Amino acid sequence: MPYCVRPMRNEDVGQVTEIDQEAFPTMWPPANYERELGTKLAHYIVAHEVKNPGGGKASETNRGQYIIGFAGFWMMASEAHITNIAVRKSHRRRGIGEMLLISMIDLALKLGGHLVTLEVRASNTAAQGLYRKYGLNQLHIRRGYYTDNKENALVLANQDIASPAFQQRLEWLKEAHARRWR
Ligand SMILES: CC(C)(COP(=O)(O)OP(=O)(O)OC[C@H]1O[C@@H](n2cnc3c(N)ncnc32)[C@H](O)[C@@H]1OP(=O)(O)O)[C@@H](O)C(=O)NCCC(=O)NCCS
């Protein structure tokens, strides 16, 4: 696989902020990822390019990795609330958003999560497509939630991610996703 996911580190904050600003240019105040990394409840990951696919651990320890996407959630009791997910425009539609979402669900499961929730702009059909593929469905609407343009937010949640039915669906999706790079 030409891309890899790992926990976000302080040295990634510059590139992550660049991706955030490209993806969410109207967000004010801008996200502060240094502060997020210092928050106990927060779990952030990045996807980066792997120059030597199959090279194993060496690529994991390389410095100067090119970050192509990131995502994060806050773990509160058994709820993983996704705060953000973004992929560089130049790298979209290659399965990287999906790779990040799979990694977050796996991590949330390890942390004892059952529920995944998030808000998404009503106009953001790309993100909604990704979430729906992974079983996140609309719970309700928060009217005028986004302060920049008063757009509505759809609140999405899934069924229990630890349930056998969800696990089966997830395995199937992971398998289909992995086939993209074989
Ligand atoms: C949402 C986002 C992270 C998706 O990342 P991506 O790497 O392009 O997505 P993937 O290639 O992994 O696509 C996975 C699925 O998402 C859906 N999807 C992604 N982009 C889509 C688009 N432009 N239109 C419709 N569906 C789309 C599809 O269901 C796709 O599955 P498929 O490949 O079987 O069709 C990316 O568009 C992005 O960074 N957007 C800006 C930031 C943002 O809006 N984040 C969400 C905040 S709530």
Q: Model confidence over 82-136: pLDDT tens digits?
A: 999 999 999 999 999 999 999 999 999 999 999 999 999 999 999 999 999 999 9
| Alpha helix (H) residue ranges in 24-95 | 33-37, 57-61
Task: Looking at the CA of residue 93, tell me the nearest atom of ligand 1.
Answer: 11
pTM: 0.94
Active site residues: 119, 131
Is any atom of ligand 1 closer than 6 Å to the C-beta of 82?
no
Q: Relative to the CA of 84, which ligand 1 atom is closest?
A: 47
**Ligand 1 center to residue 90 CA distance, Å?**
13
Alpha-carbon distance of 116 to 160, in angstroms, equals 8
